Amino acid sequence: MNIKTGRFLGVMMIAVVAAAMGSIVYRDGPPAGEKSDAKNLIPWRTDLESARREAIAADKPLFIEFSAGWCPDCREMETQTWSDAHVAEAMKAFVPVQIDFDSQADLVKQFEVKSIPTLLIVDPRSGNIMQQSRANVLLPDRFLAWLK
């Protein structure tokens, strides 16, 4: 092998490793407790029971998102959908709750969540699911159409 071929292979190897590292960072999302740089405009609650009481008092349905920090589709919704001003305005009709898929096994089981992101609109009095989207990325236009 000549020097030019060796250098070329070395550069290619570095490029492959760098691409793989970027893929790992994207897959895992930000470290626990840290948010991405996206401006999330949704005032998420994390306690379903207190959100349920709030929804009953406000006479609003619950909007529940099951997500996880390692989920690329969830991160895409965070950066694209939850940062959209029109989406934020539409979400004022709900009490939004974000449930961590990994730490809320009881709720994952209760709502039969098999994949994420899972979005549910739930009647806070009966607990009945009124509308659902399971494991689909809904970017702002599709999300707003889905809400209607």
**pLDDT tens sequence across 6-56:** 565 554 555 444 444 443 333 344 443 344 455 889 999 999 999 999 999
Residue 122 CB-density burial (10 A; 0-12 exposed, 13-18 middle, 19+ buried) = buried
What per-residue confidence (pLDDT) applies to 93? 97
What per-residue confidence (pLDDT) applies to 25? 38
What per-residue confidence (pLDDT) applies to 92? 97
Rounded to whole angstroms, the Cα distance separating 27 from 18 reads 14
What per-residue confidence (pLDDT) applies to 135? 77
Rounded to whole angstroms, the Cα distance separating 65 from 121 reads 9
Output Rg (C-alpha) for the chain, integer angstroms.
20
What per-residue confidence (pLDDT) applies to 119? 97
Residue type at 101?
Answer: F
Query: pLDDT, tens digit, for every residue of 113-138?
Result: 999 999 999 999 999 999 999 878 99
**CATH hierarchy code of domain 48-147:** 3.40.30.10
